[in-house]
A and B are shown apart, each in its own frame.
Chain A
Amino acid sequence: MLLTIRGVIEYRELLLSLVIRDVKARYKQSFLGVIWAILNPLAMMLVLSFVFTRFIEVPTEGLPYPVFLYCGLLPWNFFATSLSSSAMSLVNNAHLVTKVSFPREVFPISAILVNLVDFFLASSVLFGLLLFYGVRLTFTLLLAPLMLLIQLFLTAGVGMVSSAMNLFYRDVKHIVNLGMMLWMYLTPVVYPTSLVPERYVPIYMLNPMAVIIDGYRKVILEGCLPNSVHLATATLISLIVLLVGHILFKKWEPLFAEMI
């Protein structure tokens, strides 16, 4: 693990180059360019807000639903798109995997970082919404980066495993997409955690994404701290996922060039 961190530092220029390549390439071609990064979650937020305020009313403890929703949708989108693009990262870079030798973590990690750029761009909308609805910000906002860090651990762990598995069996990308859809409903993206029946909560909160999304809302919108037991559990699980994911990735790495 330590070796890998050193490796990543050594290859940071390559990592950066790959991220720049993908970000530039993505926005050069399209007419609206960077605006897409904002337009996507914005459009989703508008439609979902309409449905969940007019058709089904979701209680949000006094918060305006659009802000509430966007605050969860934003990190969730980052998680979901990161996983589906990191799952494809090795296969999409097949010509590099079979020809040039460097640590292969670079591929799933750069795929995640590309989506992180989008995440930051789309965050601007959140700040717009906060201003628009006059949500008062508090110092707990400073804990948001911690949520992001835990989320990155989890994403990197799952991303590494799925990128390698997708190399062995191309079905894996479908499994990832299906899994992401199911996972979203088990995560408080469109609804608040308060709707989860009491007896399910201990199990529900074993899902790190549930704790993370809930955590973002608590520190940004509600100005309070997340439940420390839940947060510690989520951090631990995310770190274990990262560690196991990385061990598996390294174990399979020598086979990549042959399997493509």
Chain B
Amino acid sequence: MEVNIYTVVLGENLLPIGLIVVKWDNKIGTVLEAKYPEDVVVSPDLTMKIYGAHVLGEEREAGFISMKVDSLNIASYFAGIEINYYVALLLKPTEDATAFEDALIEVASKIFENLGEKKYVEKLPEFYKFLEKYPVLTRDQKIASVLLDPIKSFVFKTLLEHGCVTKDQLQEDIVKNLGVKTFDINAILSSMIKSGLVVSEWVEGVPSEVVFLIRDFEIVRVPSNIKKIPANVKNAIRDFFSKYKQSPRDTAILARAITDPEIYEIIKALKTHGGMSIKEISEKTEIPEDKIFNYIGWLRRNNFIIEVEETNQSKFYLISEPMVITFYPEYQIKSVIERYNEGVLPAKQVIRYLLFLKEAYGGERM
């Protein structure tokens, strides 16, 4: 099954003005390489100002900035002086540019990976729609998105296995295992750090910053807990969960259900209001009926809902829903000590990790 995090549509209250991809050319300065929507007007002066703000920063390295130019708020991510590209989101003055940081970093990383022959251009509408919706994504949705991004997912799996790994090692492993050449490890880790899954810190004697896993998570399928539901729906829930077995494929389905804002909106509406027709769902979610129809098909095929005939009308009931649970990675304590005893990890790195785990212990479900 093809899983795509970016299958989202416009939000009503958050409408950025445009997304631009700009490169620096030593002869002619900033070059607007691509933009979305096509009709967004971008002055050469604006692209120069954004570039100037990036290179004026520390050591011309990759990084995010938010700035105000005339009547625009701008969120921009620079690939660093070697690649010399930036991706900027142009926002209305009322919008908070920093709210887009993680999403922009994620989108920019995907663009920088596909600069050759401008392969990213056809993806710009998807990226733009994802960015529009990102600030209203819940924390659970942001955590779940880790599983849908190949690099983030790889990093998380590596950390599950080893507990703590240097950034250099992670970079090397990504190149070796995924064949990706252009990516920014700091950008990859940024949203995972903000979600409280990992921390990153220098350890004396270790030549590269070390990334520590301090919170594990799982996406699970849970029964719908709506109280007033017909008996046949109750039976359907019982039947489904008596046979249900978790699998990697199902985890991917759950991840899509939780990270796709429109699918998640439909699940939330059904959870709140019980049985609903397509028309009613459309009214509650403000998603057009034709799109609801497609989403309903996907939700039925993947056992989230069932259809029930009620007084000459088809209604849909939720039978299961995705849930993100985060938990303390206690298993890492034993594992990290074993690796120290085997001589794989230096003492100071192990001590730092144990201190992080101690600090993280007892943390509530996030």
Are A and B part of the same complex? no
The residues of A with any CB-CB pair to B shorter than 8 Å are: none
